Amino acid sequence: MNISGHIAAVFAMAAFSTAAAAQYRVEGRITDKAGQPLAGAAVIVRGLEGCGTIADTEGMYSIGIPDNEGHSITVSFIGFLTQSRLVKPGNASGIDFSLQENTAALEQVVVTGTRTPKTLMDVPIVTKVISAHDIARSDASDIQDLLITELPGIEFSWSMDQQVNVNLQGFGGSSVLFLIDGERIAGETLDNIDYSRLNLDNVERIEIVKGGASSLYGSNAVGGVINLITKEQTEPWTVDLSTRFGAHNEQRHDINAGFAQGKISNVINVQMTGIDSYDVGGTGDFSTVYGNRTLTVKDRIVYTPTGRLKITGRAGWYQRERDADAIVKDRYRDINGGIKGSYTISDCGNMELAYSYDEYNKSDFMSNTGADILNYSNVQHSVRTVFNYTFGKTGTLTAGGDFMNDYLLSYQFKDGGSHSQFTADGFAQFDWNVTEEFNVIGALRYDFFSEKRTGSISPKLGLMYRIDSGKAGHFAFRGSYSKGFRAPTLKEMYMSFDMASIFMIYGNPDLLSEASHNLTLSAEYFKRYFNVTVSGYYSMVRNGITTIWNDSLNSMRYANDSPSNIASADVTFSMRLPCGIGTKLAYTFSHEYKPDGSPSMSSVRPHSLTARIEYAREWKNYGFNVSLSGRYLSGFTTHVYSDSSYETLERQKYPGYTMWKLLLGQDIWKGIRLNLTIDNLFNYIPDYYYNNSPATTGTAFAAGLALSVEDIFRTIRK
């Protein structure tokens, strides 16, 4: 039966239940785990044919039971796991249901792969989703902790000075584009954005598209896009408080407050985090892990003056201080804001116009004098527009353009100077439903960079064939070619940096754009409570930009590297059963090599695996979940510069490791959640702390408490 059929049947049942002479009534509210009402959720009484109803816009339901017997009430809603509960006369009010998202659901809406909302079932580009449920269940302390738990093939390590470096199956920080609600993030350190800015609080989901995506996102989308989608306020009011304590005085405190009244809604989030410096107590590339403290404030306001127009304004502040030196504290600040208008032209078309501002600064705070000295500032002004038009069932046209002014002041430029450039682009994509089962998507984009006066054309072609076999499940086969590119940054073109009075690092204005050609094949199988996905990726990277020792300059200089190829494959299995058992297993194989036979300096681990198994139960005033999650990263051998010279390479072997986490989460009463975590369960301690080793000192404990004031208030009122 299709969705409309279900709804019609439920309405018929609702009519029947109203007409029947009720002996007692069962009443309550149906929400998701975040407390959002699930309007339209179906409620049926097992064993009483035709006895049912649906929840109203507030998630409230009321159903009459025609006899005086106890019955099992079952609640279901698309995209969520079905729940049942026993009711009996005298205990039939306040029967609330808090449904869990079904992470294997086909109905999950995603936007990153096509820049238009599509369900996972319909999206022609392979998209992975980390849902709010996954985020909550992982008890991740930050975005890095979350991604390494949920996504095999991604690794966060340190480059020099303990600056964080990402590696997504061979693609580094400059080749993986991180977005927040589709917006770029200013600033970088050693080619990586400041990942501490990616605050997980109030995140609805994270979408990951591997492979080149420059036809929609332009420069930097060489190896993939990771897009954080934030929640929108729908409740009349909410106040959520949470706190978490871990090893080495690690702390995280969040306040979320929101309201929705008439045409206006607003949500504000304040987060403070911190961890002390600590010694790892072993030998290695580092002995002390630098502590730091962050403060993040973000506010989002939505004004809907008419049914067709929606204006979203946002503002954010971020600051972090790092204890890398006794006297000089590294300070990082960001201020950002934006305004976006979305206008529905007709039932078929809509357009969006947005302006975004992002300023990211780095400074040295001299604790002995109190002086705070700016040494880096990246300021980005962006204007973008996108237009969607749907031609009935035939397909959707998406077209748009972006303009960005990029200003960079840096201590790495001569005399601490600055450079700026603008980029402009236009793109078009057509998502064509050739038949109900067969879909073709094609896109083309042109980007122009003022400083080099050069452009880049990025095409994409994707095919999807889908089979809906009813009870046998859904099959989807996808294949795509896409180009990714990365234009040389201002830093790479103009750097002139004295490295500790030992050597210079020079930029190179003659650099060519880095480009990747990406092929993807995938097969997915979905059935009600589980899915299996097998994907293969092949990327050819040309003109990779890196620093290479230059004999004539007797210094490092940015240059285009020799070609490299990356072959990888993923297998993912996830399942969540209504009885409360869930599991997710994901394995990735990656192999990066140089087609010209030159020694590879790749830091890709060939094998990685993530796993989680969990069990959850819920009663009226108490629920719990226990989950065991872990990851395995294989060892690997690569080439590094020898200790004595940058002209010779030597083989270096890095060990593999596995780390596991045990979590007990408890929902006490209503609106109170307590998490207790044992991290590094099997007490893994590296023999030698390489920069890609986990900075662990052994088994550690963490505890977190979250309060939903709105839920508590509602329960008290009852």
Partner 1 sequence: MNRNPFIMAVVAAGTAMLLLSCEGGILGGLYDEPEPVSEYGFIRKETSTGHGEIYINTSGYTYWVYLDFLNAEADSVNIISHDEEPDSWDIAVHRYDTKTNGGAVAMTSFADIDYFAESGHVPEDNEFIEDIMTEDVIAVDMSGMMDGNIIYVSDFYNPELSEWLDVDTSVMPPIYTRSDHVFILRLSDGRHVALKLENHMDNHGVKGYMTILYRTLETPDNGK
- Residues of the shown chain interacting with partner 1 in the complex, contacts defined by CB under 8 A: 160-161, 285-286, 305-306, 308-309, 311, 325-328, 333, 335, 339, 341, 343, 345, 351, 353-355, 357, 359, 361, 363-364, 366, 368-369, 371-374, 377, 379, 381, 383, 405, 407, 409, 418, 420, 499-503, 549, 554, 644-647
Burial of 251 (0-12, 13-18, 19+ CB in 10 A): middle
Is-contact 175 167, C-beta < 8 A?
no
d(CA 234, CA 203): 14
* Least distance to partner 1, CB of residue 173, Å: 18
Is-contact 477 533, C-beta < 8 A?
no
Q: What's 17's DSSP letter?
A: H
- CA-atom Rg of the chain in angstroms: 27
Q: Of the two residues 133 and 491, which places its CB atom closer to partner 1 in the complex?
A: 491
* Least distance to partner 1, CB of residue 303, Å: 11
d(CA 360, CA 379): 6
Q: Of the two residues 481 and 549, which places its CB atom closer to partner 1 in the complex?
A: 549
* Least distance to partner 1, CB of residue 315, Å: 12
d(CA 363, CA 343): 41
* Least distance to partner 1, CB of residue 67, Å: 55
Q: Of the two residues 345 and 457, which places its CB atom closer to partner 1 in the complex?
A: 345
The count of C-alpha atoms lying within 13 angstroms of the C-alpha of 89, restricted to the half-sphere facing its C-beta, is 8
* Least distance to partner 1, CB of residue 416, Å: 9
Q: Of the two residues 550 and 677, which places its CB atom closer to partner 1 in the complex?
A: 550
Q: Of the two residues 556 and 609, which places its CB atom closer to partner 1 in the complex?
A: 556
* Least distance to partner 1, CB of residue 449, Å: 17
SS3 222: coil
d(CA 226, CA 228): 7
Q: Of the two residues 313 and 578, which places its CB atom closer to partner 1 in the complex?
A: 313
**Residue ranges with strand state E in 345-451:** 349-366, 372-391, 395-410, 418-433, 438-449
* Least distance to partner 1, CB of residue 82, Å: 42
* Least distance to partner 1, CB of residue 453, Å: 19
* Least distance to partner 1, CB of residue 356, Å: 9
d(CA 299, CA 317): 9
Q: Of the two residues 57 and 306, which places its CB atom closer to partner 1 in the complex?
A: 306
Give the angle 416-418-423 at the CA atoms, nearest 5°: 150
Q: Say which amino acid occupies 108.
A: Q
d(CA 53, CA 24): 15
Burial of 195 (0-12, 13-18, 19+ CB in 10 A): middle
Q: Of the two residues 436 and 643, which places its CB atom closer to partner 1 in the complex?
A: 643
Q: Of the two residues 309 and 581, which places its CB atom closer to partner 1 in the complex?
A: 309
d(CA 667, CA 703): 14
SS3 159: coil
d(CA 454, CA 94): 65
What are the C-alpha distances in Å from 238 to residues 34, 203, 313, 374, 406? 10, 15, 19, 38, 37
Q: How do beta strands 503-506 and 555-560 pair? A: parallel
Q: Of the two residues 350 and 456, which places its CB atom closer to partner 1 in the complex?
A: 350
Pair of tokens at residue 11 = 């309405």
Q: Of the two residues 261 and 368, which places its CB atom closer to partner 1 in the complex?
A: 368
d(CA 43, CA 62): 9
Q: Of the two residues 288 and 621, which places its CB atom closer to partner 1 in the complex?
A: 288
* Least distance to partner 1, CB of residue 217, Å: 20
- Other Cβ atoms less than 10 A from the Cβ of 451: the count is 18
* Least distance to partner 1, CB of residue 694, Å: 18
* Least distance to partner 1, CB of residue 622, Å: 48
How many helices and strands (H and E) does the chain possess? 6, 45
Q: How do beta strands 700-708 and 52-54 pair? A: unpaired
* Least distance to partner 1, CB of residue 404, Å: 11
Which residues lie below 8 Å from residue 443, measured CB to CB, with a gap of 6+?
215, 216, 398, 427, 428, 429, 430, 459, 460, 461
* Least distance to partner 1, CB of residue 420, Å: 6
Pair of tokens at residue 257 = 């407050």
d(CA 576, CA 51): 28
Q: Of the two residues 88 and 308, which places its CB atom closer to partner 1 in the complex?
A: 308
* Least distance to partner 1, CB of residue 426, Å: 17
Q: Of the two residues 504 and 540, which places its CB atom closer to partner 1 in the complex?
A: 504
d(CA 153, CA 353): 35
Q: Of the two residues 319 and 697, which places its CB atom closer to partner 1 in the complex?
A: 319
Q: Of the two residues 69 and 498, which places its CB atom closer to partner 1 in the complex?
A: 498
Q: How do beta strands 97-99 and 24-32 pair? A: parallel
Is-contact 531 126, C-beta < 8 A?
no
Is-contact 475 466, C-beta < 8 A?
yes
Q: Of the two residues 344 and 715, which places its CB atom closer to partner 1 in the complex?
A: 344
* Least distance to partner 1, CB of residue 695, Å: 15
**Rounded (10°) CA dihedral 142, 143, 149, 152:** -160
* Least distance to partner 1, CB of residue 332, Å: 12
- Other Cβ atoms less than 10 A from the Cβ of 267: the count is 24
Give the angle 269-273-275 at the CA atoms, nearest 5°: 175
